[in-house]
Amino acid sequence: MSKILVTGGTGYIGSHTAIELIKSGHEVLIIDDLSNSKIEALDIIEKLSGKRPVFEQFKLRDSAKVDDFFEEYDIDAVIHFAASKAVGESVAFPMKYYKNNLVSLANVVDAMSVNNVKNIVFSSSATVYGQPDKLPATEETPILPAESPYGNTKQIGEEMLLDQTKASDTFTAIALRYFNPIGAHESGENGELPMGTPNNLMPFITQTAIGLRDELKIFGDDYNTPDGTAVRDYIHVVDIAKAHIKAVERMIDGKTESQFEVFNLGTGKGFSVKQVIESFEKTTGVNLNYSIAPRRIGDVEQIYASTEKANEILGWRADKTLDEMTLSAWKWEKHLKENK
């Protein structure tokens, strides 16, 4: 059994990953400041996995607390999710994103170095590719100037980890560049819980469908795509979580081929915003009220992944369909309403 620290572990992807880690036989420790999640996530993790993780609440920008945590626990690896993640907000408040996302990562890596913790899986993003000249995006696709401060923090985060692998011959990092996680746990009891107005498409769809929002806004219908709406590679959150298990076990088992590895996580298919809406309406029987709004600053036109490297080297594959993603998200939204 390995001890895995999951930063941001009460958040959307973090909590699903904690559940899968525990089910795979690992011991989970979580640090989260609960700025974009709720303490009740621990109860959900315990219910769905059978074990409650160790939990401490503080900001990773507090280097003294980070150092104390690493000294107290004998950690085998870190999965680093903790970060602010809204593209639009990052454009409006760039310094918040640089401070929160990069200082936190630096403090974690410092504490790892002092305490001889060698392995980190970094929650990166397809945003590092910007708008690629050629699709699908592979791991060798050139890193273009970021479209947003959020995307830039992911680029810089990867560079920080690469530099650390050059400075230490025992430090290993895997950056998982994932595309657009949506959906919820098959039980309907764990899913995306944005604080305030959602920034992502799927919770906006489900909140509109259940009556919490008057309408869904589609940002732009004049893109050069089949139906004019932006195209993304949507992937089920549990598939994403399982990839983190593969990555962390790859490092712990000493199977990495280099000290810094990168894998795309996606389905390899692009779906437009309208296709996601159509899938939701089909699987749930609910008609959505939506309107067209201007494009958002920082949004790219279309992007989807080549997943060959993750399939072949990491031994991971996304299993769930778009219909499974949209239906599971609806089950979660209904669960929230029923348990208010």
Distances, alpha carbon 104 to alpha carbons 69, 99, 119, 185, 294, in Å: 14, 8, 17, 28, 34
Q: Has this prediction a pTM greater than 0.75?
A: yes
- Domains along the chain with CATH numbers: 3-182+235-265 (3.40.50.720), 201-231+268-335 (3.90.25.10)
The helix, strand and coil proportions of the chain, stated in percent and rounded to the nearest 5, come to 40, 15, 40
Residue 249: count of CB within 10 angstroms of its CB: 19
- Among candidate residues 12, 97, 129, 150, the one labeled active-site is 150
Q: Using CA atoms, how far apart are residues 88 and 244, in angstroms rounded to an integer?
A: 27
User: Catalytic annotation on 73?
Assistant: no
**Is 117 in contact with 252 (CB distance < 8 Å)?**
no
- Separation between Cα atoms, residue 104 and residue 108, nearest integer Å: 6
Which residues share a beta bridge with 311? Answer: none
Report the 10 Å Cβ neighbour count for 298: 17
List 291's β-bridge partners, or say none.
217
Q: Of 111, 72, 122, 53, which Cα lies nearest the Cα of 263? A: 122
Cβ count within 10 A of residue 277: 20
pLDDT tens by residue, the chain, 340 residues: 899 999 999 999 999 999 999 999 999 999 999 999 999 999 999 999 999 999 999 999 999 999 999 999 999 999 999 999 888 889 999 999 999 999 999 999 999 999 999 999 999 999 898 888 899 999 999 998 888 899 999 999 999 999 999 999 999 999 999 999 999 999 999 999 887 888 789 999 999 999 999 999 999 999 999 999 999 999 999 999 999 999 999 999 999 999 999 999 999 999 999 999 999 999 999 999 999 999 988 788 999 999 999 999 999 999 999 999 999 999 999 999 999 7
Tokens of 130: 């910007």
